[in-house]
């Protein structure tokens, strides 16, 4: 006699993840708002998705699955994509900004600015992006993929990711007196939403969180250096309207829509990940 399999993903686990993440972010925002000097710790918000995922896994006794996303994959195409996509995307965007005369090239600034000053800086930078990717791509994406399929899973992860970023970005914009903070939030959320798709592709091709970690690290390094920092309202190698020319601005959003359309057409050709909830073959999308 065959027993009915439980539905995947486990709705309770997803709700625990979301609920834990919301509570942690509220507490973290309260901490940041206590004093302006606390804003220097805003990057640590990136640890919250991983912590929430750990709580969700442990709540159902899936402690072994916590470490499954950390397994290395021997699929070089996924890692190659994680390197070439952000570099190529940002180089193309720099060329477009220059060709259209929308950004002033600042030759006194370097194309290469080290993202860390010492070994501690390198380790912390990797841990920060791992904190986000462990939660979003390591837990939520494969868990949702098991029921919703690749495209819808990437979309809803993008929605959650964008909503997660919004309050922190708004708080920084207010404290730094950024012009049009509400417009910044709208553009940033839209861009984060569509960015979920190339990040999802990097994970789905490797079944490892290290590919999106590599993608995230390169992006967080080169985008501020070349096209400015939206969080701190600082220009990069090209000086212009950050809301327009930045990789996380309007141009970045529009260009990423082409990848979203490609992802929609090719989603059936992308291998599904092994889900943390151990989905059965019948429950996995074709």
- CB contact set of 109 (below 8 Å; sequence gap of 6+): 225, 236, 237
Rounded CA separation 82/79 (Å): 5
What angle is formed at CA 211 by the lines to CA 169 and CA 264, rounded to 5 degrees? 80
Q: Which is nearest to 204 in space by CA: 25, 41, 81, 51?
A: 81
Considering the chain, what is the average pLDDT of its residues?
A: 87
For residue range 163-213, list pLDDT tens digits in order: 999 999 999 888 888 778 899 999 999 999 999 999 999 999 999 999 999
Rounded CA separation 162/188 (Å): 8
For residue range 12-43, list pLDDT tens digits in order: 899 999 999 999 999 999 999 888 889 889 99
Q: Which is nearest to 218 in space by CA: 43, 81, 39, 73?
A: 81
Quote the pLDDT of residue 72.
Answer: 87
Residue 145: φ, ψ to 5°: -60, -35
Contact yes or no for 92/100 (Cβ under 8 A): no
Query: Residue ranges per domain, the chain?
Result: 11-276
SS3 57: helix
Helical residues (DSSP H) of the chain, grouped into ranges: 11-34, 48-59, 76-99, 119-135, 141-148, 150-175, 181-206, 210-227, 242-245, 250-266
* DSSP per-residue letters across 109-124: S-S---S-SSHHHHHH
pLDDT tier for residue 271 given thresholds of 50, 70 and 90: low
Mean pLDDT of 81-102: 96
For residue range 214-267, list pLDDT tens digits in order: 999 999 999 999 999 887 778 899 999 999 999 999 999 999 999 999 999 987
- With a cut of 80, say whether residue 272 has pLDDT above it: no
Is pTM beyond 0.85 here?
yes
- With a cut of 90, say whether residue 281 has pLDDT above it: no
Contact yes or no for 102/94 (Cβ under 8 A): no
Quote the pLDDT of residue 73.
Answer: 81
């Amino acid at each position: 006699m065959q027993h009915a399999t439980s539905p995947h993903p486990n709705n309770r686990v997803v709700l625990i993840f979301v609920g834990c993440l919301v509570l942690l972010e509220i507490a973290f925002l309260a901490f940041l708002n206590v004093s302006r000097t606390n804003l220097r710790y805003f990057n640590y918000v990136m640890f919250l998705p991983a912590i929430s995922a750990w709580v969700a896994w442990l709540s159902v006794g899936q402690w072994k699955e916590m470490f499954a996303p950390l397994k290395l994959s021997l699929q070089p195409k996924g890692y190659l994509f994680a390197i070439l996509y952000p570099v190529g995307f940002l180089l193309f965007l720099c060329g477009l900004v220059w060709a259209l005369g929308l950004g002033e090239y600042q030759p006194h600034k370097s194309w290469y600015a080290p993202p860390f000053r010492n070994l501690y800086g390198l380790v912390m930078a990797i841990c920060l992006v791992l904190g986000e990717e462990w939660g979003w791509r390591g837990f939520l994406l494969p868990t949702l993929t098991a029921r919703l399929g690749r495209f819808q899973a990437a979309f809803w992860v993008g929605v959650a990711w964008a909503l997660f970023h919004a309050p922190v970005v708004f708080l920084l914009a207010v404290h730094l007196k950024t012009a049009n903070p509400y417009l910044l939030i709208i553009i940033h959320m839209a861009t984060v939403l569509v960015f979920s798709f190339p990040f999802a592709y990097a994970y789905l091709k490797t079944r490892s969180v290290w590919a999106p970690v590599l993608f995230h690290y390169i992006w967080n390094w080169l985008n501020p250096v070349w096209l400015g920092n939206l969080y701190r309202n600082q220009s990069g190698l090209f000086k212009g309207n950050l809301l327009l020319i930045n990789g996380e601005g309007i141009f970045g959003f529009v260009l990423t829509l082409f990848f979203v359309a490609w992802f929609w057409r090719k989603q059936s050709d992308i291998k599904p990940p092994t889900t943390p909830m151990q989905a059965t073959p019948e429950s996995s999308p074709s």
